[in-house]
Amino acid sequence: MLSIDLTGKRAFVAGVADDGGFGFAIAKSLAEAGASVCVGTWPPALGIFQTLLRRGKLDESLTMGNAPGASSETGGSKMSFERIYPFDAEFDTESDMPDEIRENKRYKEHGDVSIQGSVERLKADFGDACVDIVVHSLANGSEVKHALLETSRKGYLGAVGVSAYSNVSMVQRFGPIMRKGGSFVSLSYIASERVIPGYGGGMSSAKAALESDTRVLAFEAGRKWGHRVNCISAGPLASRAASAIGFIGEMITYCKLNSPLPEALEAREVGAVAAFLASPLGAGITGTTMYVDKGFAAMGKAL
């Protein structure tokens, strides 16, 4: 019997600050398959997230079943995060952080929240070769509600930097501390290749860059370290982060009506695919953007 068995593996999932998004669902699927899970949380949201966990507000969401095909007996237990690190993907190193950010009350107590900072924290906690799976589940575009024609250079480059280049930086910096055969997974959206009016501010460009970089990084990281790099193009989900777009409900309804499987996507379905890609069952897959969208990407005509 084939099984998704991640026993003995450690994952770092960047972009988890609540229980409503893809990042949390992926973390949960990895845990259900037996992995230990560390997460990176945006510093301004870290305190609230930790308070929700401490007060038991997320207990229902944390209760695990067995992931499809999972070999570990996790059903009914509660997922716990091995570590929760303050993490801001806008900064590659601590020296990249402006003084006003370092001194900001939401950052000051956390020290180095850069990508390299999380690498150093992991090494200090677990040793040099300590990670097997890295998940990039984050994006931000300050002008996402702006049409591309109305997007500033700063807004455009900011969207690409945080939403796409951060994945390049994570592969650069996490690659050396991953055990051989490591797996990187990121999250994209169909706006990378088709026009989604209202999804602006350079975010469509960022997603296109993310998918292109996936192919190049797969070649480079595969040859250099033996790691795999893949991307999931997920259908729309009404997460708290997606609410910034302003029309996520409309997109969910449209995709539901026009997909081969006429139903709304669930976060756990993306989580299960991420666990598969990270597992030995996905050992032959790299450089791929995999659609998890009820088949919407296959359609060429609206119904």
Answer for the pair 210, 188: CB distance below 8 angstroms, yes or no: yes
The DSSP 8-state label assigned to residue 162 in this structure reads: I
User: Looking at 165, 199, 254, 291, which residue is catalytic?
Assistant: 199
Tokens representing 198?
Answer: 């209202």
**Does the annotation mark 107 as catalytic?**
no
The position carrying tokens 């449209």 is: 254
Angle subtended at Cα 178 by Cα 170 and Cα 230, rounded to the nearest 5 degrees: 55
Query: What are the b/e assignments for 69-83, b being 16+ CB within 10 Å?
Result: bbbbebeeeebebeb
Query: What are the b/e assignments for 272-288, b being 16+ CB within 10 Å?
Result: bbbbbbbbeebeeebbb
Residues 6+ positions from 197 with CB-CB distance below 8 Å: none
User: Looking at 107, 189, 254, 291, which residue is catalytic?
Assistant: 189
**Does the annotation mark 165 as catalytic?**
no
Which residues are known to be catalytic? Answer: 189, 199
